[in-house]
Chain A
Amino acid sequence: MTDFMQLIWNETLKIYLRVSTWILLIFLVVFSPLMLVLMNLGDFPFGAQQAIEQSFAMYFLVILFSLIIASDSVAGEFATGTIKLLLIRPWQRWKILASKFLSVALFTLVLTLLFLLVVTVMGYILFPSSSSSLFGEGESNLFLLVLYNYIRALMLAAFAFMLSALFRSTALAITLAILLYFAGNIITPLLQAFLQPKDYWFVKVFLPANLDLTQYMKDPNGMFGVTSLGWSLLVLAVYFVVFVLIAWWSFTKRDVRA
């Protein structure tokens, strides 16, 4: 097991030794509080807790940056040809793939925690008139908010990771993953507005409609009133397994010709 940790450490170094990763991190720190600043300028009468929750609108930065790293994880090695040196080590391919995905999941977690840290600090600075403390009544809400957002980021990262292994092209994987993310964000409200209730079976299995688990913080039956937290988690789990299987097949069974 220690050996496998070494693989994850290798993959983690591949992410953090690049200048581009640090540009993303700096970008995240600078732009995460944008929402807070705007709310502050607009003189919104928020307490710190409320302001922090509102600023999760900026969490899409974390998702975008995760997608970028996930898309490059496998495809980048094919593009540079380093995959050939990576796969001739005494490690079965699925273990290398697993270490890659775990490093992406960890990177997404780091981005999430960094985001949380920045918006919390800035939230308390810009909205000092906190009526409720961070450790008060609303604590579980913030925890769930972070957890649900992280799950969404992880699902999308898994999708990008699968595309990366499947197409072996970073550009294609990034493009398709971001397309799914934004298309989902646009289509879901449209469905909500125009879909006939008899066709609601569709949203039950439609990935983007199940991605945002924060909908259950407002309504236990979800935005369409036909799903539940448990149902959405099940749907996400099924999609996740499919993504993993496709990535696994693509990475372990196909010839390397790069």
Chain B
Amino acid sequence: MDKLSTNDPSGTPTSPGSATPSQSPSSPAMPASDNTRLDAVLPAGSDLPVVQFRGVTKKIGSKTIIDNLTLDVPRGRVFGFLGPNGSGKTTTIRMLVGLMSITSGDILIEGQNIRTHFEEAIAKVGAIVENPEMYKYMSGYQNLMQYARMSPGVDKQRISEVVQFVGLGNRIYDKVSTYSLGMRQRLGVAQALLHRPRLLVLDEPTNGLDPQGIRELRDYLRALSREEGTTVFVSSHLLSEMELMCDTVAVINGGRLVDVRHLDHASHPSAASASAKMMVRFETDQPELAARIGGGGQVSGSSWSIAADRQEIARLNALLVQNGIAVYSITPIRETLEDQFLAMTREGERHD
């Protein structure tokens, strides 16, 4: 289960396009550089996982909803919690924030047990569980004041800081009943950040948001984890969404942890480090001829696909052009998280 220790926790996100061969892709042999980087921004002992699930089991009646979940959420990441509907994501999150009891096992937040030290543990957490439901008859500001009064050290200045961060502006003084869903989501993020939590927990945060709202949310989360070192724990059943948002994804199915995957955002183009073969699709005017000249591969429609490394791609391209074949585009076909996810969840079902 503990596959995370072998992952490269790259602290600085790199945009996929800027990757060069000099940037080595994720490799297990980099824990030292990782530690030095983290030590620079965090106090000693901060290699402690922000959240530790230890053999967490939830039974409702005779039904086992979560089965012996053991998982560490490392610091400063956007950590995705992925699974199909009914897989136990929401139950896990509700146990994490103390809304549901834990049948057996423990959940530690910053080393504090949510069961035995609830107030200490939850003080480090900000959360939205499913929809950001607010008191509609109050203004956004009055809502934030409600939560400000419940946490120590949240003053008016902090409130205006978070209001500015989520960009609600003067609408914060309007009643929540006049807000759009996107604005309610922003207010939800604001209440979750009010007390400067080390851990931000979001359950299905993109539900019901339009594409712009989803994009905004994604930007907030990235900014938070990058600028404030906040660890974000986010659940979703939307694979594409998780791919864009998360550094690491834990996959859950049928109440069991199926896999933990590190998504190296820098690695996709450079995963073709010189020798690695990958599937590439050539879009041409004569795909059959291309296949004959190129020596194999598959043809479908106007495109021809073949496994090749970087050098071969260039050579194949030259070869096609020399033979009078027009090449319109060359696209690497990478296995998406979706493919991996479907494969994993199918496996999970077979085990049951």
Contacts and interface: CB of A to CB of B under 8 A. Distances in A.
Contacts of B130: 81, 84
A82 B136 CA distance: 10
Given A84-B133, A85-B147, A89-B150, A255 B100 contact: yes
Contacts of B134: 82, 85
A80 interface: yes
B136 to A, nearest CB: 7
Of the candidates B60, B146, B191, the one having the most CB atoms from chain A within 10 angstroms of its own CB is B146
Interface in B101-127: 101, 118-120, 122-123, 125, 127
Given A84-B133, A92-B119, A255 B99 contact: yes
A24 to B, nearest CB: 14
A90 B150 contact: yes
Nearest to A18: B137
Contacts of B286: none
Contacts of A80: 133, 135-136
A255 B123 contact: no
Interface in A1-15: 3, 6-7, 9-10, 13-14
B94 A255 contact: yes
A96 to B, nearest CB: 9
B327 interface: no
Contacts of A9: 149
Interface string A75-90: 0000011101101111
A27 interface: no
A87 B98 contact: yes
B129 interface: yes
Contacts of A14: 135, 146
A182 interface: no
Contacts of A18: 137
B146 A13 contact: yes
Contacts of B150: 6-7, 10, 89-91
A257 B131 CA distance: 13
Nearest to B60: A255
A186 interface: no
Contacts of A256: 94, 99-100
Contacts of B119: 90-92
A30 interface: no
Interface string B131-159: 11111111000100011011110000000
Of the candidates A7, A91, A253, the one having the most CB atoms from chain B within 10 angstroms of its own CB is A91
Interface in A221-252: none
Given A89-B151, A91-B150, A256-B94, A19 B137 contact: yes
Interface residues of A, number: 25
Contacts of B137: 17-19
Contacts of B78: none
B97 interface: yes
A10 B144 CA distance: 11
Given A81-B130, A81-B131, A89-B147, A255 B136 contact: no
A214 to B, nearest CB: 37
A87 B127 CA distance: 11
Contacts of B146: 10, 13-14
Contacts of A81: 130-131, 133
B290 to A, nearest CB: 57
A255 B58 CA distance: 11
A40 B136 CA distance: 44
Contacts of B147: 85, 89
B98 A88 contact: yes
Nearest to B137: A18
Contact of B122 (A6, A10, A90): A90
A70 B84 CA distance: 40
Nearest to A11: B146
Nearest to B148: A6
Nearest to B133: A81
Contacts of A10: 146, 149-150
Given A255-B100, A256-B100, A88 B125 contact: yes
Contacts of A17: 135, 137-138, 142
A10 B138 CA distance: 12
A85 B195 CA distance: 13
Contacts of B101: 253, 255
A90 B151 contact: yes
Contacts of A92: 118-119
A91 B151 CA distance: 9
A19 B147 CA distance: 22
A88 B122 contact: yes
B133 A88 contact: no
Interface in A105-138: none
Contacts of A88: 97-99, 122, 125, 127, 129
A7 B149 contact: yes
Contacts of A7: 149-150
Contacts of B151: 89-90
- What 3 pairs between A and B have smallest CB-CB spacing? A81-B133, A90-B123, A89-B150
Interface of B: 60, 94, 97-101, 118-120, 122-123, 125, 127-138, 142, 146-147, 149-152, 191
8 contacts: A85-B132, A87-B98, A88-B125, A88-B127, A89-B151, A90-B118, A90-B120, A90-B123
Interface of A: 3, 6-7, 9-10, 13-14, 17-19, 80-82, 84-85, 87-92, 253, 255-257
